[in-house]
Chains A and B, each alone.
Chain A
Amino acid sequence: MSDTILVKVENLDRLFDVSKPLLNRIIEHEKRQFLRAVDNLSIEIKQGETFALVGESGSGKSTVAKMVVGLLEPTKGRIEIDNLDLSDKNKVKELRQMRSEIQMIFQDPFASLNPRWRVEKIVSEPIIAFNLESENEAIIKRTGELLSLVGLAPSDGRKFPHEFSGGQRQRICIARALASNPKFIVCDEPTSALDVSVQAQILNLMRDLQDKFGLTFLFISHDLSVVRHMANRIGVMYLGRLVEVADTKSLFKNPRHPYTRMLLDAIPDLEMSGKERKPIEGEIPNPINPPTGCTFHPRCPLANERCKREIPASFNIDGNEVTCHAVEEGRS
C-alpha cells in the first residue's frame, strides 16, 4: 500500500426526487419532496488499500458506490480518480480510458449475469468493448486465463450461468470485473447473498487478487465482521452522513461515535463469552424527513440541546475522524 491517493471524493451530495406526480402536487398543494441519500460526504482512498463503508439499510452506502463508478450522477460535489475529475466533460478520451480502470462487483450473483449468455461471452465482453485484444484467439486465451484466475476451469466458459452455484457465479462476476485490468474495484455487498463457507472462499479470493494485482477496493457492507476482515480503513455511515472514519484496528478497539459503539454492541457474540448483546434503541428515521441537527440525536444516549440544533463537523481524535458534539465536548 502506498500513500498515493487514488480516489478522492469531496462534499458529495445526492438527492432523489420522491415527489408525487405533477398533477397530484398541484391538486394537493404539495411541494416537491427530495430524499437526501448522501449528504456532504468526503472520503479519500489510498492506492492499494481496502476502504470499507458500513451502515444499515438506507444509510446511503450503495448510492455512494454507484456514484463512484459513474452509474449515478452526483447532485453536488466532485469525484476524482487518479487526479481525473469524473465530471470533466473536456476529457472524454481520458475518461473512457478511466472507465476500464474502475469496475464493480455486485451483491446478487443471480442478477448480475445475463442469463442467456454463455460465461465466456460474459467474461470477454469488457475485453472486446475496451478493445484490449482484437485477435479472436487472444480473446479466447485471455478469457480462459481470467476463469482460471478466479478458480474456475477455462472449459466452464462454455456453460450458462444457471449451471453454477452462487459462489461460482460470484467468481464469474469477479473474472468479468478483472477483464479490463482495473486498478479500482467497488464491491457492493459482494458476499451478503452467499453462505458463510462460500463467503470465506470469495473473501480469500478477493484478498489474493488484491495482493497479486495491487488492487484498490471500496468495500460496501453491513456486516462488521466481514469488514473487519477485509478493510484497512472503515467509514461508518448513518442517514447519508459519515459519522466516523478510522483505521480498522482503532475503530474496533476504540470506537468513538455513539452510533459506531451501538453497532459494535449489536453484533452477535460468537465467542460465547456470556456478554449480553445490547439492542440498539429505536430505528432509522424516515430519510425524507430526517431529524434536525445531528441526525442520530433521537437514538443517541448522549444527545443534548446542541445536538438537536447544530449539525456537527468532523474532527480528529487519536486518528479517528469523528462527527459528534458529545465526543468533541468530552461528554462521552
Chain B
Amino acid sequence: MSEPLLKIKDLIVEFPTRRALLRAVDKVSFEIAKGEVLGVVGESGAGKSLTGAAIIGLLEPPGRIAGGEIYFDGQRIDNLADEQMRHLRGKRIAMIFQDPLTSLNPLYRVGEQLIETIQTHLPMNKKQARKRAIELLDEVGIPAPETRIDGYPHQFSGGMRQRVVIALVLAGEPDLIIADEPTTALDVSIQAQIISVLKRLCSERGTAIMLITHDMGVIAEIADRMAVMYSGQIVEIGKTYDLIKNPKHPYTKGLMGSIPSMSGEVKRLVQIPGSMPRLNDIPSGCSFHPRCSKVFEPCYSKRSPQIKVGQSDVACWLYSEEDKK
C-alpha cells in the first residue's frame, strides 16, 4: 500500500483544569488512505470530535495536543504555525460540522460565500467562480441552482443547508474531509440524502473522509473502515463489515447488541451496565474493565496494546498471545 493520506501516531489531547489534567484523547493511532472513508464511532465524551478538531488544528483552548504526531500527505502538521495551518485548512483538509448554520454567514447570499471560497482557493475571476459555484450546488443535489445561488441561508431547509455546506467544503477541492456528525441534526429521510451525496462525491473525486458519528447505521452504509472509541482510546479498528458482523472487543460487542435491529425477532436488547467514566475518574488499566463482563487479571492493572485479530486491531487482553497458550 502506498503512503497513507493521514497518519496519526499516539495522539494525546489534554485539558488542563484547575482540579486536574484531563486526558480526553489518549494515545490514538490510525491511518486514512487516499479516497478512503473512515468512520469513527463512540458515545458522547469518547473523544471522537476532539480527535477530529486536533487534526484540523481547531482545538478550543485550554485543550491542546500534548503528545503524538500527525502526518498529512507525508508532512507533519501538528506543529505547524497558525498561518501555515490556515493555508492547509479549507484547501486540503476541510471540515463539516453538525449544525450547518455555524458554517454559513446568515448575512450573505449563499452564492457570495461560495464564490469567495472558490476565489480564495482557485485562480478564477468572478464569472468563472460563479459558474463553478452553480456546478457545485448542482453536484450536491440542490434543485435549480441558478436561482437558489442568490438565496440567503435562512431560505434553505436544514437538509439543503447541509448540502450548501458540503458545496462550500468541496470548493477548495480538499483531499480530506472531516465530517463531525454531519447528519445528526437532520431527519432520517434527509439523512439518507446527505449520506448518498457524500458517498457519491467520495467515489467520484477520490476524497478521503473521516466521518465522526454516533450513528452506527450511517457508518455501516458509507465507511470502508471504522474505529470504535471509548474514553479517549481506540478499542477496535478494522473493516466496517468485520466490526459490525463480528465484533471482537467486549465494548464493541455490547455496542452492536444494544442497537435495536430492524430484522428478525424483537429480543431484549443487550445492555452494557453503567456508563462511560468521566474524564476525571478514568479507571486504572483497561478503562472499560468496570463495565466488562469478561474482565480478568491483567485488565485491572494494565491497558492492552493493539492486538491483531483477523483483519482488525483490538485493544483487549482477551486476545493476547500469552493467554491463548
Contact = CB atoms under 8 A, between A and B. Distances in A.
Interface of A: 56-57, 165-168, 195-201, 203-204, 207, 222-226, 228-229, 252, 262-263, 266-272, 277-280, 283-284
A200 B258 contact: yes
Nearest to A276: B196
Given A168-B275, A267-B217, A270-B216, A203 B269 contact: yes
B124 interface: no
Nearest to A262: B189
Query: 10 closest pairs, A vs B, by CB?
Result: A268-B217, A200-B258, A280-B189, A195-B43, A229-B260, A200-B269, A56-B187, A279-B193, A279-B192, A225-B260
Interface in B181-235: 187-193, 195-196, 214-218, 220-221
B192 A266 contact: yes
Nearest to B273: A201
A83 B94 CA distance: 59
Among A56, A167, A198, A228, find the residue whose CB has the most chain B CB atoms closer than 10 A. A198
B19 interface: no
B275 A270 contact: no
Nearest to B196: A279
Given A225-B260, A270-B217, A271-B262, A200 B270 contact: yes
A294 to B, nearest CB: 17
Contacts of B262: 224-225, 228, 252, 267, 269-271
A16 B150 CA distance: 32
Nearest to B42: A195
B44 interface: yes
B188 A222 contact: yes
Contacts of A56: 187-189
Which of A225, A226, A270 has the most chain B CB atoms inside 10 A of its CB? A270
B220 A196 contact: no
A263 B189 contact: yes
- Range of interface residues on B (Cβ < 8 Å): 35 or more
A203 B192 contact: no
A217 B272 CA distance: 25
Contacts of B189: 56, 262-263, 266, 279-280, 283
Nearest to B245: A272
Nearest to B143: A282
Given A196-B216, A271-B262, A272-B220, 6 more contacts: A197-B258, A204-B271, A223-B188, A267-B188, A277-B195, A277-B221
A266 B188 contact: yes
Contacts, number: 121
- Most B-side CB within 10 Å, residue of A196, A201, A229, A263: A196
B259 interface: yes
B220 A197 contact: no
B292 to A, nearest CB: 13
17 contacts: A165-B276, A167-B275, A196-B255, A197-B254, A200-B258, A204-B269, A204-B271, A207-B268, A223-B188, A225-B259, A225-B262, A229-B269, A262-B189, A272-B240, A278-B192, A280-B189, A280-B192
A282 B233 CA distance: 40
Given A207-B268, A222-B188, A266-B189, A277 B43 contact: no
B147 interface: no
B280 interface: no
Interface string B223-267: 000000000000000001100110000000011011111110010
Nearest to A299: B189
Contacts of B254: 197
Contacts of A266: 188-189, 191-192
Interface in B39-77: 43-44
A284 B196 CA distance: 19
A222 B214 CA distance: 16
Given A198-B43, A203-B269, A283-B159, A228 B260 contact: yes
B157 interface: yes
B245 A226 contact: no
A268 B258 contact: no
A167 B273 CA distance: 11
Nearest to A208: B268
Given A195-B43, A269-B220, A283-B159, A204 B192 contact: no
B271 A277 contact: no
Nearest to A54: B188
B274 to A, nearest CB: 9
Contacts of A280: 189-190, 192-193
Most buried by B among A226, A266, A268, A280: A268
A164 B7 CA distance: 37
Contacts of B272: 197, 200-201
